[in-house]
Structure 1
Amino acid sequence: MQSDAETPSSSLHPAAGDALLVVDLQRDFLPGGALAVADGNAVVPVLNRYIDLFSAARLPRVFSRDWHPANHVSFAERGGPWPPHCIAETTGASFAPGLNVPPDAYIVSKATGAEADAYSAFQGTDLAGWLRHRGCRRVFVGGLATDYCVRETVLDALALGFEAVLLTDAVRAVEVEPGDGRRALEAMIVRGARPATLQAIAGEQA
């Protein structure tokens, strides 16, 4: 039998116990960046609406970011799958232009060591403890990219006992292989993530 904390809420209305988690919305993942996600910049205005919603409710807003050293193991020059991207303190690692990052937002830097990669915002960070300390039981997740860092963040959230709402209008996929984005969405939903859109959430609050 599930406890109240483990039972998914029927309401999508952000309330006490909820947090917004914006995943890796950084310049290098936008069109023109070192590891661009097609149409990645389209999620910025949508996520700004979510940020405003959670700010108005005085709920936690968390922003994760890749924060790699220049010799990171995931880079092609070291045999990894990706071009150099999101190198700490560079323009490419900065948050997307126009993204409203509140001054009291919590910023989680991941994959900060040269020898270990991390797609999930929970991997190698204090995010789970930070959320639990603030009584958060559910995370609303959007950002880039659906088939990598968003997927792994959502799956880790579920595995750690959090409920997860996947903001399907605020994610985009890399699509290294055709269909990767769709498969990632299916994997998250099968594991228990609840898909939702701003229209659904705003409609519920009306």
Structure 2
Amino acid sequence: MPHAQLDYGPADALLVVDMQNDFCEGGALAVAGGNALVPGINAEIAAARAGGALIVASRDWHPIDHVSFAHRGGPWPVHCVQDTPGAAFHPDLDLDADTLRVSKATAFDADAYSAFDATGLAGYLRERGVTRTVVCGLALDVCVRATVLDARRHGFETLLLESLSAAVAPDAVADCRAAFAEAGARVMP
């Protein structure tokens, strides 16, 4: 069910998490329902843009032999390798030249799930006067979860757009909601 459109202003940042080809249907690590999120996220991007909010798109941007890959002992198949079609943002996602693109998990020997993890994003948002982050994307129970919790740890008012996010394991959503509530993040269905 779509949520009511948010009002955005210059103190807001919309964080679109990992809407990449490898995480959408047909990708190496596909999340069911990923493609279907794009129109709603585009509507949110348009609202954020109209309100003067900052739009941030995070992405996994792994080197070819990343530590998270199964052949290196990690939990995931090869995915989102730098400069490959799988690492590209979904082709229908409405990202323009003003969209801040944040690459994470770029080191060979360290994984990163949150858009804030070793990216400098928190400091950048503070410099821009951002006080509220609005988060959506993939996957709700992995990188979206980590991003929401880190946003709260960094002191931002945080709102998750659950209807514009999808989980790898749908049965994990209740645990995510509990973690968000405990951290003080709001969830909009």
Normalization by structure 2: what TM-score?
A: 0.94
Question: Aligned-pair distance for 1:59?
Answer: 1.3
State the Cα distance separating 1:120 from its structure 2 match.
0.4
Q: Specify which of 159, 163, 171 is matched with residue 179 of structure 1.
A: 171
* Residue aligned with 2:149, SS: helix
Matched with 1:7 is: none
Q: Give the superposition deviation at 1:69.
A: 0.3
Shift of 1:52: 0.2
User: Partner residue of 1:38?
Assistant: 32
What CA deviation, in whole Å up to 9, does each residue of 1:29-71 have, x standing for no partner? 0011000001111111110000000111121000000000010
| Percentage of identical aligned residues | 54
How well do the aligned residues superpose, as a CA RMSD in angstroms? Answer: 1.1
Alignment of 1:136-151 (within 5 A): 136-151=130-145
Query: Which of 171, 185, 192 lines up with 2:184 in the alignment?
Result: 192
* Unaligned 5+ runs, structure 2: 1-5
- Match for residue 158 of structure 2 among 158, 164, 172: 164
Q: Please name the residue that 2:3 is paired with.
A: none
**Contact 2:8-2:52 within 8 A present in 1 as well:** no
SS of the counterpart of 2:48?
Answer: helix
Query: Partners of 1:129 and 1:152 in 2: how far apart?
Result: 17
Give 1:13 deviation, angstroms.
2.5
CA positional deviation for 1:97: 2.0
For the residue of structure 2 that corresponds to 1:136, the secondary structure is coil
CA contact (8 A) 2:148 2:158 kept: yes
Larger radius of gyration: 1
Q: Residue 27 of structure 1: CA displacement?
A: 0.2
- How many angstroms does 1:168 deviate by? 1.1
How far 1:16 sits from its partner (Å)? 2.9
Q: CA deviation at 1:121?
A: 0.4
- The letter for the 1-side match of 2:177 is L
CA distance in 2 between counterparts of 1:182 and 1:80 reads 26
Amino acid at match of 1:50: E
Contact 1:172/1:181, CA 8 A, preserved across alignment = no
Aligned equivalent of 1:87, options 81, 89, 92: 81
**1:129 and 2:123 matched:** yes
| Aligned equivalent of 2:96 | 102
d(CA) in 1 for partners of 2:181, 2:20: 25
Q: 1:190 Cα shift? A: 2.5
Q: What letter corresponds to residue 164 of structure 2 in structure 1?
A: A
The one-letter code matched in structure 1 to 2:181 is I
